Chains A and B, each alone.
Chain A
Amino acid sequence: MPFYDELYKFQDKLQHVLTRHEQGATHAAQGYARVSGKVGVCVATSGPGATNLVTGIADAMIDSTPMVCLTGQVPSHLLGSDAFQETDIIGISTPVTKWNYQITDVAEIPEVMAKAFYIARSGRPGPVLVDITKDAQFASFDFDYTPCAGVRSYKPIPEINTTTIEDAAAIIEKAEKPLIVWGQGVILGKAEAEFKAFVEQSNIPAAWTILGVSAIATDHPLNVGMVGMHGNYGPNMLTNECDVLIAIGMRFDDRVTGNLESYAKQAKIIHLEIDPAEINKNVDADVAVLGDVKQTLPLLTEKVTAKPYANWFAAFKKHDKIEFDKVIKNDLHPTKEGLTMGEVLKEINRASNNDAVIVSDVGQHQMIACRYARFSNSKSNVTSGGLGTMGFALPAALGAKMGAPEREVVAIIGDGGFQMTIQELGTIFQTQAAVKVVVLNNDFLGMVRQWQQLFFDKRYASTEMVNPDFVKIAEGYFLDAKRVTTRDDLGSAIDEMIASDKPYFLEVCVEKEANVFPMIPSGASVSEIRLS
């Protein structure tokens, strides 16, 4: 209350967005951070308000999103007394925060706030939580603010060891079948230009993780697509054929590597990384280049020379052709009656000139969005990667629109995830943030259903959804809304949605039992990727 009472006086300077649920606030802050590169901020009251933040904090932690969460707390003399709306949010949030702190003395506020933002945004970014007791909020003191210049026990960026650069360059020099796999580190490090220069100077095919994707344009000739469980056929198969794998700002997540026992065993691994704890965590590096990729990449670029790698590129082309014939053709140019998620993405690409911010939730539609969305600019793919938080996209899209108001922001959400944070339609209505919300409705928790079909003999245990009328719900929030059920109506509906300068809701009823391929089954090797 005291905090909000002060905010009231700063309404012209500080925009406050009242989400309908605290989880929505965290994802909105994440969406804001991911498109703007700035720290997202969310505020919650003590007790249940604070605990409702936990999912979003955990999501921001695993996806390295800079975020500062402020929580209210009972007065310091009541700490530990089971007071009304008291919860040990410091204890609860410890494993999912980069740092957290409880302020009990008003005089600590400036220094702790400066430190909180410094820690959230520096090095490998992450969420920070500051819990402020009510007495500290009510007290007054002589305000004096000094930005945080550093924390002595915290080294955000490791020193560069130039020997590692030389060692990496020597390995690349000898490579005949090198492969780059890049991740979000390129974007978090604001190193898109340095990365592009390295890729072009070395002429090495480059594949992306879903959080790294938009660092260079989708149509860049050296961009060979997505790695991982539902990634492209070529980069997955050829991970187990490359002789050098250059990992840049990525952490070898299990959804990327499949079975580690048979992941790129034949390759020399070069790992460019800011976080020393990621080195040799999942995949042993032959050369670990520690540092900020914005600094290390140019040093490496200087030392590499382009080679044609003609046969190697031909191998990618060959695999692309196979994937196109077996998967992509049916996804993007279906001949059967039912709408595919892929064709919806294709229409969105067309209508937005391949330049929308795509905010996806978690599940089949997410994989389809990551596979088929086309990007021209960085910070354009916002999705819950590590935690896989259903319900992420609707509030994240709202935050993304506020972080990048000049850009087209399209949320792609499944019917399951949509209903986990559906209440944020209210926030979208109240703010009139011109978010375009597309629900791909297959009346199932589709990804789980797909696994049940493939691995559990079609026993669809609790995955079928009996859904409400989503259009009516959107209209209940006074949003422009439409439902599409046929191919003939799809293109024009998407045109209408993109043309709108207001928030817009579009439900697309898609094929109920369609599957996402390619797929690396759980526990299988990347080269055991299935096309059907």
Chain B
Amino acid sequence: MDKKYTISIYTENSVGLLNRVSAIFQRRHINIESITSSASEIEKVSRFIIVVSLSEEAVKKVVGQIEKQIEVIKAFYHTDEETIFLESALYKVASKSLFEERHIQNIIKNSHANIVTVNTEFFVIEKTGFRHETEQLYNDLAPYGLLQFVRSGRISVTKSPMNIKALLNRLND
């Protein structure tokens, strides 16, 4: 049974590692639903968040292959219930809609979205939340004409500790 898993990978910050990690998925014909790479809580250590739909057996094997890479410090996989996760979306709308369509102001207010910028040409709305929330806002705004839409990959933290600092302290000794 396929299920959504969030794979968290702590790595050294090095050129080419994203390619090395994504190749593990590509080789097994696994579609990556989203991928985010950023700094982590530890200096010079990167964190990848990769979302995939797989069986637990398959995700376990993939994580094993990821951990095997020389510059990967540690990799984990978690279910949605085990993580706190969000996505961010940006919506660019023509400014005339904001002034001409009163209704759009209610949409923004009710969705708890933020207006990032407004000028005479366009305005940009930001919404952070679950997928269904950013999708809802998309559907609500679509009739007014979206000039641009973009959604980030998932970012997530786990409910249980991952103890990377302690692991690194041990490895550094």
Contact = CB atoms under 8 A, between A and B. Distances in A.
Interface stretch (A274-282, A328-336, A432-440, A477-485): A274-282
Contacts of A99: 70-71
A151 interface: yes
Nearest to A124: B68
A154 interface: yes
A276 B67 contact: yes
B163 interface: no
Interface string A275-303: 11101110000000000000000000000
Contacts of A119: 70
B166 interface: no
B15 to A, nearest CB: 7
- Which 4 A-B pairs give the minimum distances between C-beta atoms? A277-B64, A152-B171, A99-B70, A153-B73
Contacts of A155: 171
Given A94-B20, A279-B64, A280-B61, 18 more contacts: A91-B19, A94-B16, A94-B23, A95-B23, A98-B70, A99-B70, A100-B16, A152-B168, A153-B11, A153-B71, A153-B72, A153-B171, A154-B71, A155-B171, A276-B67, A277-B64, A277-B68, A281-B64
B132 interface: no
A94 B64 CA distance: 17
B172 interface: yes
Interface in B10-36: 11-12, 15-16, 19-20, 23, 27
Contacts of B61: 277, 280-281
14 contacts: A91-B19, A94-B23, A98-B70, A99-B71, A102-B16, A153-B12, A153-B70, A153-B71, A153-B171, A275-B68, A277-B64, A277-B67, A277-B68, A281-B64
A44 B128 CA distance: 51
B40 interface: no
Interface string B60-78: 1100110110111100000
A90 interface: yes
Contacts of A90: 16
Contacts of A91: 16, 19
A76 B61 CA distance: 37
B167 to A, nearest CB: 10
Contacts of B19: 91, 94
Contacts of B71: 99, 153-154
A446 to B, nearest CB: 30
Nearest to B14: A101
Interface of B: 11-12, 15-16, 19-20, 23, 27, 60-61, 64-65, 67-68, 70-73, 168, 171-172
Interface string A114-148: 00000100000000000000000000000000000
Contacts, number: 47
Q: Which of B61, B65, B70 has the most CB of A within 10 A?
A: B70
A95 B16 contact: no
Interface in A76-101: 90-91, 94-95, 98-100
Interface of A is mostly: mixed
B32 to A, nearest CB: 15
A35 to B, nearest CB: 26
Contacts of A151: 70
B66 to A, nearest CB: 9
Contacts of B12: 152-153
A470 to B, nearest CB: 38
A154 B64 contact: no
Contacts of B70: 98-99, 119, 151, 153-154
B173 to A, nearest CB: 10
Nearest to A97: B20
Contacts of B73: 152-153
B46 to A, nearest CB: 11
Nearest to A155: B171
A90 B14 CA distance: 13
Nearest to B172: A152
A487 B23 CA distance: 52
Nearest to B73: A153
Q: Most B CB atoms within 10 A — which of A91, A94, A98, A281? A: A94
Contacts of A98: 70
A281 B61 CA distance: 7
Contacts of B27: 95
A100 B15 CA distance: 10
Nearest to B168: A152
Contacts of B67: 276-277
B39 to A, nearest CB: 16
Contact of B64 (A95, A152, A153, A276): A276
Contacts of B72: 153
B96 to A, nearest CB: 43
A153 to B, nearest CB: 5
B60 to A, nearest CB: 8
